[in-house]
Structure 1
Amino acid sequence: MTDSPAPSSPWRLRASIRRLVLTLLVAGQTVLASWFLLQVLPYHGGNLVEWLIVGVFALLYLWIAFGFWIAVYGFLLRLTGGDRKSLLKRHSPAELEATELSRTAIVMPLYHEPVAWTLKGLKAIYLDLERSGRLDDFDFFILSDSQNPNVWLEEQQIWRRLVEELGAHGRLFYRRRRVNLNFKSGNVADFLRRWGSQYQYMVVLDADSLLAGETIRTMVQVMNREPQVGILQTAPTIINGRSAFARIQQFASRLYSPLFATGLAAIQMGDAAFWGHNAIIRIAPFMAHCGLPKLKGVGIWRGPIMSHDFVEAAFLGRAGYEVWLEPTLAASYEESPPTLDDELARDQRWSKGNLQHAALMLFAPRLRLAHRFAFLNGIMAYAASPLWLLFLVLTTIAAVQLTIAPIDYFPDGRESPFPLWPEWRPAWAITLVASTMSLLFMPKFLAIADVAVHRAMLGFGGFARLLVSVLLEIVVSVLLAPIRMLAHSHAVISALFNVRLSWAGQNRTEETGWREASVRHLPGLLIGGAWSAFAWTLDPMFFFWSLPVSIPLMLAAPTTVWLSRLQSGEALARNGFLLTPEERAAIPVLDDARRFRDEPPQESPLAPIEQAVLSPVVNKLHCHLARKHARGLKRSVIADELEACIARGYQGMDQGRLSLMLEDAEALAILHRRAWSAAPDSFWGRRVHKLVLRWQGQSGL
């Protein structure tokens, strides 16, 4: 294992030139657009409100222009065969194939995920790697942070079943933390402290991650040939979308991401970001340099770092290692939240983590400038929404001043003897709006051109269906943008006031109900309706200008419900819309995952806790995994809970105390014996009866 980076490749000069060109394009375009806006405003910057409008507009325009030029650069690179200076282009396929593999851990942190569904995905990855014939170089670790006893007991049962099915004894491991400090980063850190020294690399997965065996093998070989690289990040493709919302996200990701990922990778080069999953990490420098400090500021800038991935990439860069994003590493997949509300709930957590990065961006010593900009990019992903909201508020104030207040010919203490006449330039305003819209929508049509150049139209259903799908995605994006604006603004304000957030597993399947959607989006409906009504009283033109924001807010509930429906997504797919190539191609790891997940579940009349207590085989497994010889106060608590559980059952017991009892081998063994001897009309007696009836049914008695 190397603990110091090898001499760096001479890519930094090229990266600096690319970043300089991008900066000039984005800054120049923003200055021009801001000047245009200044000319459009009636007083041309003659009062404070107009200058605030221009300032906020400039920040938003910078953000939009940056994305636009990244996409254009990505399109041009893909048009000419890709970035010739990318990490993967340095080595021919033959050179990589001849490169030895190294000991690698494949780790999947879990927290209250759908257990069978998640671990069947891991089973597909295992089998795909086994097909490559190089399984001996890899071990798999399921790292659980689950606290609900029914969840972690089920995890242990399905892990044991997987080990038997795959013959993975000594290769597929399960470890559960009883105290989940520092969330996912703490989970991975705990693994590294225990087993990190035994491996050279670690491939990190999310619960919804799927990676082909060939991709994993290639990542290890690239890392072995590039000792200065600390993290190699793939660009995951979204798959398995079923609801209309998930299918739209999946389609947009698959169509547009190749342009953005290619352009971003070419700008960042060895200063890329780490996205926390579907990536390979060099363990020794990661352990040496990526320990996360506790922030020492105030509010959200005090305490543990919530969003760890960008920070770890920055710390590796500070230590002299490179972090690369490689979009050409294919067969890397993840999933989208099935509903808009689930996405917004996830964003509430992510926004707080990203805003925390402001302290590191400004004050952490010796970080590379590119990684500070990566922090800024993550912050702007959420801060753009309150900025947009502020822009709307300021324009409303300006409209009120023009409509209600008398014209001020000498604004802000103007000392000139000549009055400042308000001037309207509708043609300039239309030009500015059109140019801004082109920055937002042109990359989508460049993506269609990219698909045509690479002769991939059939994977998206052909040209006509692809075009209709893009137009549908644009309409939905326009409808969702104001909803996201309000939700992200609320998330940012809540984060700044350090509102405590819960950490929960992600919904994978549930639809959004009408009542839930109506309650959640009622504030937006009221705000949108009141704003448009107020705009109508001011000026009809301002009313029409408000409609693209107010109408989506008023339609948020039906939009959210329709998009969450599996039936809506399936209808779109049946008619050939929002298709992606992965749905039409035979990809072994995806086919295996779908087949395993479509298998009928092994039904049981008992909950996992009840199986752990009553089933002799399952009880023996959990006793083997449980702690031995608890003492002192814990022993006393376990004894009290054991007697209560035997007498009344486990339902209604405190989850923490119940877990403490079920984690104890002696208590589990005693509970097993006494439950089987319980009175027939008791809680456990009734469960025993259920289990016996099932056994009799299985044996045909």
Structure 2
Amino acid sequence: MQTESITRDTITRDTRISDTRISDTEINLVGGAVMPLERPSPMAPQSLRVLSEGMPRKSTIANEVKSDGLRRFWVVGSAFIISVMAIYEMVSVFNVGGITPLEYIVLVLFAVNFCWIALAFSGGIAGFVILLKSTSSVPTATVALHTRTAILMPTYNESPDRVFAAVEVMAMALAASGEAHAFDWFILSDTTDPDIALAEEQAFLILRHQVSKDARVYYRRRRKNDARKAGNVADFCKRWGARYDHLLVLDADSLMETHTIVSLAQRMQADPDAGLIQTIPYLINGNTLMARLQQFAARIYGPVIGTGLSWWAHKEGNFWGHNAIIRTQAFMSAAGLPNLAGKPPFGGHIMSHDFVEAALIRRAGWSVVIAADLPGSYEECPPSIVDLAVRDRRWCQGNLQHTRVLFTKGLHWVSRLHLLTGIMAYLSSPFWLMLILSGLMLALQAHFIRPEYFTDQFSLFPTWPVMDSDRALRLFYITMGILFGPKILGVVLLLKNSTMSKQLGGRGKAMISVVVEVILSALIAPIMMLIHCGAVLSILAGRDSGWSPQRRDDGSLPWLTLIYRHRWHMLVGALLGYAAVLDSLTLLAWMSPALIGLWLAVPLSGMTGSERLGLWVKRLQILATPEEMCAPKLSLDSLSRREDYINAIAQPWTLSTLLQDPELMELHLAIIDKKPHRLPGSAVESLEAITRVKVQEAQCQHNIANLFTRQELAYLLGNPLLLKQLQKLPEEFVIEGLVSFC
């Protein structure tokens, strides 16, 4: 497919795409409809201490927001019973010879970790039973859409070709279905890189030209990206949200099938008490071994966990920040996020906003549902261990912030459990590490410290430091069964599903993929455990994660960078191995599954992040998924269009080209956000002041971009007055008849 240029010769003077040009009328049309007319509406921050007046609301349909209590009884109740039994067994293991202080520590750590995995196991059992009984048919609604939905694609320093190609193929597919009248598309940019910002504008003009007859697409780049993604969406809601009944929120790497988009809108329209409906996205387009590992695990084992969670959480589901539809009224009236007192990492803007927004929407009396039965929702994943660590550092900070939200007044107890689950997703790693260290200390204590056989108390028999080894071994097997239970259930479903097994190359190849996944996951798990431990310690030390854009494709890094990144992991692995050898080679053998991954952290990280190795494994059809073996047309079209966008913006606009071409400047000024960087009368920030001074001191346009930092350039590109002032400068500075470059 060949991309049509939508600009004048001056825009594409170095890029030959097509001879098609647009007229002055079309340029003006683009400028006049970059965003629809604003319809301001309040979205007040919610108090975490008191409920707003009128909350919780009464449901439109009687008991429509009430969940099935039996579901919680079976899942949460069974998790509680399993945990109590396991903790009792652990007490019995130690109680043979009396429990020492160190054994008490081991007992507490074991109890915390076991309760955490028991809930996932019991939920997985529920998901397994549901999937075992379910058919492959997807329930469809035939209700005509009379509501309006805004589809939001927030982006932050992402590759414009990825974002705009995805919107184009989704918008065109939706138009082909005849349902485009009910949807508008918005790319909400928070990009701070000036080069990417200008490339986004070029990509938007291409997108607008491609879909102008079939879909309504809009673009807005915020001049100041307060509160990150949550602030980006909130800004849209306050200015344009009142125009729409629903918001369908995507991510920069999201794709969603037309039937999924329409079904979400139909379900929301049919249920007046639904506040949020979350899909379970499948992972796609992974080429590195690490990405393929995540794809395979999410596709084979994920449905067991996701379906179980959807079933027992019922009307108190959760939100994962994207690939979900939200009722605008519920979101704007109930989910305005407050700023937490103090400085980051625990204060300031709420980073992991999605869990909190779901809890607040449910608190206000709306249902939050996970649509586990609705396929066709896709996203991508980090390509390497290092990229996963960068993302998890940000998520870890956001989830630990939830400790300050956990006791918010009026939250449903299941919403609190979701928040606690998010917190434990990262705190569990320090707990597991402390459990390993405590167990190692017990072994070393028994080996090196002489036991006190006769205490001060009179006794005819000595006090022997003993444990019930048979019971301890049985408890170990039970713990491993609970930990790996969801994976085992996922494999059972895979083997039972002959159609899926055939797609993956047969049951034999599917089992090879399972074995590879289990081995690699076991090697990577201790590395991720230490990464999460480091993230938790960093946050407790008061360090903020910042907001870095994610890499999406190749995860390769230089070997020196990998050595630096994993230096502590290798050192901890060596120290733990040495401590185990001090006791016995048997203990080293028992600990080796957790140590080998640490010893091999650098080559393992390099291999799993390599796109070349990942593509080789892909050709062997190892770790394949149904979406890879039979790729969705939407995904293929998106990849094809990405190439066209890359070629179309190969020669991006620059500040110099804007200043030298009035028509380009006119287009740019029409596209930039009309909301000022700050309100009149508010304090002037240093960035604004410095940029204004530099503009005032500029004497000509030659090499003017070199006067500004990238942050200042990003600000300058969003300020019409300063741009027009620069536009009036001469191209060269003249002194007494001589030409001098400024």
Normalised TM-score (structure 2)? 0.85
Query: How many Å apart are 1:334 and its aligned residue?
Result: 0.4
- Distance in 2, matches of 1:437 and 1:614, equals 67
Counterpart check, 1:575 vs 2:628: no
Answer whether contact 1:157 1:618 (CA < 8 A) is retained: no
Higher relative contact order (CA 8 A, sep 6+): 2
Q: CA 1:621/1:523 → structure 2, altered by over 3 Å: closer, same or farther?
A: same
Q: Check 1:36–1:597 CA distance in 2 against 1; reply closer, same or farther (3 A cut).
A: same
- Residue 495 of structure 1 and its aligned partner are, at CA, apart by 1.6
1:664 aligned residue: 719
User: Kindly tell me: are residues 635 and 521 of structure 1, through their superposed partners in 2, closer, same or farther at Cα, counting changes over 3 Å?
Assistant: closer
Coordinate RMSD, CA, aligned = 3.1
Relative to structure 1, is the Cα distance of residues 675 and 443 closer, same or farther in structure 2, using a 3 angstrom cutoff? farther
Offset of residue 5 of structure 1: 5.3
> Is 1:453 aligned with 2:496?
yes
8 Å CA contact 2:505–2:621 kept in 1: the answer is yes
Stretch of structure 1 that moved more, 530-539 or 226-235: 530-539
Q: 2:198·2:652 contact (CA, 8 Å) conserved in 1?
A: no
Query: 2:694 aligned with 1:650, yes or no?
Result: no
Q: 1:497 aligns with which of 541, 561, 564?
A: 541
Shift in Å, 1:104: 0.7
- Give matches, 1:401-412, under 5 Å: 401-409=445-453
Displacement of 1:160 after TM fit?
A: 1.5
Deviations 1:245-264 (A, max 9, x none): 10111111111111111111
Distance 1:617 1:427, change over 3 A: farther
Superposed, 1:127-526 pairs within 5 Å as 127-167=172-212, 171-296=216-341, 300-361=345-406, 363-409=407-453, 419-455=462-498, 456-510=500-554, 511-526=556-571
Q: Deviations over 1:319-338 (max 9, x none)?
A: 11000001111110000011
User: Which whole-Å CA distance do the structure 2 matches of 1:408 and 1:558 have between them?
Assistant: 46
* 8 A contact 2:699–2:730 mirrored in 1: no
For 1:68 and 1:380, locate their aligned partners in 2 and report how far apart those are by CA, in whole Å.
15
Q: Compared with structure 1, are the counterparts of its residues 603 and 215 closer, same or farther at alpha carbon in structure 2 (3 Å cutoff)?
A: closer
User: Deviation per CA, 1:212-250, whole angstroms, max 9, x where unpaired?
Assistant: 121111111111111101000000000000111101111
Contact 1:101 1:221 in 2 (8 A): no
Q: 2:169 maps to which residue?
A: 124
- Mean Cα deviation higher: 571-580 or 372-381: 571-580
- The CA distance in 2 between the partners of 1:156 and 1:15, in whole Å, is 49
The corresponding residue for 2:692 is 638
Opposite residue 271 of structure 1, the aligned amino acid is E
The alpha-carbon deviation at position 8 of structure 1 amounts to: 5.2
Inter-partner Cα distance in structure 2 for 1:667 and 1:297: 35
Amino acid at match of 1:63: W
> 1:379, CA displacement in angstroms?
0.6
> Residues of 2 paired with 1:479 and 1:641: CA distance?
55
1:204 deviates by: 0.4
- Summarize the alignment of residues 601-620 of structure 1 with structure 2, pairs less than 5 Å apart: 601-602=647-648, 604-605=650-651, 608-614=654-660, 617-620=663-666
> Would the aligned equivalents of 1:107 and 1:140 in 2 still touch at CA under 8 Å?
yes
Runs of at least 5 residues in structure 2 that lack an aligned partner in the other structure: 1-40, 42-53
Deviation per residue, 1:407-462 (Å, 9 max, x gap): 13478x97877543122444333322222222233322322321343432122221
Asked if 1 retains the 8 angstrom alpha-carbon contact of 2:301 and 2:487, the reply is yes
Secondary structure in structure 2 of the residue aligned to 1:325: strand
In 2: Cα distance, 1:592 partner to 1:105 partner: 23
SS at match of 1:184: helix
Residue 574 (structure 2) pairs with residue 545 (structure 1): no
CA distance in 2, matches of 1:68, 1:682: 77
Say if 1:554 and 1:442 are closer, same or farther in 2 by CA, change over 3 A: same
| Contact 1:627/1:664, CA 8 A, preserved across alignment | no
How big is the shift at 1:378? 0.5
Taking the aligned partners of 1:313 and 1:665, their CA distance within structure 2 comes to 38
Question: Which whole-Å deviations, capped at 9, do the CAs of 1:99-148 have from their partners, x for residues lacking one?
Answer: 33411101111111111122111111111111111111111111111112
- 1:622–1:665: 8 Å Cα contact kept in structure 2? no
Q: How does 1:25-40 map to 2 (within 5 A)?
A: 25-40=78-93
Q: Give, in angstroms, the shift of residue 353 of structure 1.
A: 0.7
Asked whether the equivalents of residues 5 and 228 of structure 1 are also in contact (C-alpha less than 8 Å), the reply is: no
- Which range moves more in the overlay, 142-151 or 617-626? 617-626
Higher mean C-alpha displacement, 508-517 vs 464-473: 508-517
In the alignment, which residue of structure 2 is the partner of 1:692?
A: none
Which runs of structure 2 are paired with 1:75-86 in the superposition (5 Å)?
75-81=128-134
* C-alpha separation in 2, matches of 1:325 and 1:212: 17
CA distance in structure 2 between the partners assigned to 1:14 and 1:187 by the alignment: 32
Q: Relative to 1, partners in 2 of residues 1:330 and 1:553: Cα closer, same or farther, differing over 3 Å?
A: same
Q: Does the 8 A contact of 2:65 with 2:366 survive in 1? A: no
Determine which structure has the larger helix proportion and give its number.
Answer: 1
**CA 1:191–1:340 in structure 2 vs 1: closer, same or farther (change >3 Å)?**
same
User: What residue in structure 2 maps to residue 52 of structure 1?
Assistant: 105
Comparing 224-233 with 634-643, greater Cα deviation is found at: 634-643
Following TM superposition, by how much is the alpha carbon of 1:297 offset from its aligned partner in structure 2, in angstroms? Answer: 6.7
DSSP-derived class of the 2:716 partner: helix
> Residue type of the partner of 2:426?
Y
Q: Can you list the C-alpha shifts for 1:617-660, whole angstroms capped at 9, x where unaligned? A: 43331133358999998699436337177354323622333233
Alpha-carbon distance in structure 2 between the residues aligned to 1:638 and 1:230: 45
- Correspondence for 2:669 among 581, 598, 623: 623
CA distance in 2 between partners of 1:683 and 1:27 (Å): 80
Letter in 1 for 2:511: L
Q: How far, CA to CA, are the matches of 2:638 and 2:741 in structure 1?
A: 37
- Cα distance in structure 2, aligned partners of 1:61 and 1:8: 40
* Aligned partner of residue 233 in structure 1, secondary structure: strand
C-alpha contact (below 8 Å) 1:638/1:660 kept by paired residues: no
Give yes or no for contact 2:102–2:442 (8 Å, CA) kept in 1: yes
Unpaired segments ≥5 residues, structure 1: 686-701
**1:300–1:356 CA contact under 8 A, matched in 2:** yes
Instruction: For 1:390, give the aligned amino acid.
Output: M
1: CA distance, partners of 2:574 / 2:537: 22
More displaced stretch, 479-488 vs 144-153: 144-153
**Matched position secondary structure for 1:578:** coil
